[in-house]
Structure 1
Amino acid sequence: MSNAIEVKELRKEFKSYSSRSGLKGAFRDLFTRNYKVIPAVEDISFTVRQGEMVGYIGENGAGKSTTIKMLTGILTPTSGLVQANGMNPHKEREKFVQTIGVVFGQRSQLWWDIAVQESFRLLKKVYRVSDEDYNEHMNHVIESLDIGPLLDKPVRKLSLGQRMRCELAAALLHNPPLLFLDEPTIGLDVLVKLKIRNFLKEINEKYNTTILLTTHDLSDIEALCERVVMLDEGKIIYDGKLAELRSNWGEGKQIEFQFSNQVDDQQLDPLVKELDVFWTKGDRHNVWVANVPHEEEVISELIGRVVAAHKITDIKIHEISTEEIIRNIYEEGVIHGKIR
């Protein structure tokens, strides 16, 4: 199977300028300015096979969007090699953009004051899509995303969820083999997210569309991607299967206790001595979560100790979430640019 994306030693640096203080400093800034070079992406390498759906994740400022912009030809790399769909994105941009679709959650490619279908017609001419191909493909897209009732409405009158479904349809109007999604479900409700996820799975299966997805909503990653590439401070710290990440870092369970009375960690810590358990405060009143190893004896012992010492109104046992795993990795697992 051929590679849709090939990245080798990719680097992007930005100059950060600083102003000198005072009138004299302002005058000097007219002729020479102080700056420092900040690497946003540092010599990363990875490949994505045709038809693969890959989650590209990291904290704010890790370099995700910068990478996407280089892969789509918006930014020129400082150094390194980029190839997508067999082309250099920033050197062959006019030809390259005919073969990709892009959705930025914070930006729109639709015209604000005209009807959605008019935007689609304009994009149809931009991408030189024939009437036959447009009707066959877009009828399916419009039906799958349930945007038929929205086609006559101006974009400015759409809700966020409605607009994002239309944005996704616009990105797929020319049925590109490669799709970049940068925070496509930001701020959307659960039903809209499910509709978009199901649609992405469908086009991946039907057209073998390659999808590179960046998002802070890890439920999107879990629903769509078997593989994740994780960034930290511009460097790749993990590239592999999500299942392996969970098996290596997700051993254990979380036991959620809801206490009838107010408790604190000073009261709870003595109950977990020698059990290798640590507590975190829950997001509800009088709720504490115990993170425990995946051992039945420890779980039984902990529940017995807590119930004997405090009045409990509810107990829930959860597998450790992917979000918790990722948080643990960033807080304690990054060593010299790689995770343990």
Structure 2
Amino acid sequence: MWFNEGISGLEDQPRAVQVERQNATEFILLGLLNHSKVHMFFLAIIFLAFITAVSGNALLIFLIQVTPSLHTPMYFFLSQLAFMDICPSLFIIPKMSVDFLIPGNTISLAGCRTQVFLMLTIGGGECLLLPVMSYDRYVAICNPLHYPVLLSRRVCLGLTAAVWISALINALIHTVYAMRLPYCDSKSIDHFFCEIPPLLKLSCSDTSTYETVVVLNSSILLLIPFSIILASYARIVATVLRMKSTTGQQKALATCSSHLTVVGLFYGAAMFTYMKPNSYHSTRQDKIVPVFYSIVTPVLNPVIYSLRNRDVLGALRKLVGKHRVLH
């Protein structure tokens, strides 16, 4: 209905106006919060989350780099995850804060395209990195004697390169297609950053075929890695239950539970956002659910992996101890 109305409305306007509207180079992000004192408080919390996410993940990367005992495949992949968690905070929250303080502030077409590309790259990268991390845990617990061979430095670098290249190609394809659609309807995006589902609502072309492609692509990108994670942990649980040492069981389960917590948070929100046709999306859901993978998860990941990890806590204590000695 809205599509037909939009077309008929365009036909009634002069051709010059149609061309001008189709060639518009700016969008307006309506944001997550309203301009009220309560929402100003929420903005302060979000900005605090931004600082926590960036500093927490940066500290985790630093600890892994400077601590020789953490130079293992598990922590190498964890440093990649921490880097991926820093990026959404840097891409989204500063711009979101400016938009809140300056109502009607625009984002250029190039800026919107950049946000879409970077968020798809990071999201796709995390989708593919999490099963790699589960494979690392599977080999460490189920095949410890083969661990140095199956996850050698060369293998780790190859897996990481495959994750990033696949994520970049997938993001590039979707960004090029989505941003070439004619956006001749309202330029106001009812969201706090540029993302494909809310952008498709603005297009005055028939996007049903592309929406189906997005759902299918997302299903493959999410369900196959998620299935690999479940299969890995099924084998891990079976191996842990056969262990005679209670201490060994607890250590294995503690490491795996941290990873499973991250998996649940990320995949749950991503599946809810990208595995539904656009017609089933509501504006409220489109804005609230992405908060989990763009703001909440980057804050929680370093907390989950540090507070529940003795090696990371030990490295942090040594770093603090050296700092005290120097002063």
User: Structure 2 length as normaliser, TM-score?
Assistant: 0.21
Q: Higher helix fraction: Structure 1 or Structure 2? A: 2
Structure with greater Cα Rg: 1
Q: RCO higher in 1 or 2 (8 Å CA, sep ≥ 6)?
A: 2
Q: Higher strand fraction: Structure 1 or Structure 2? A: 1
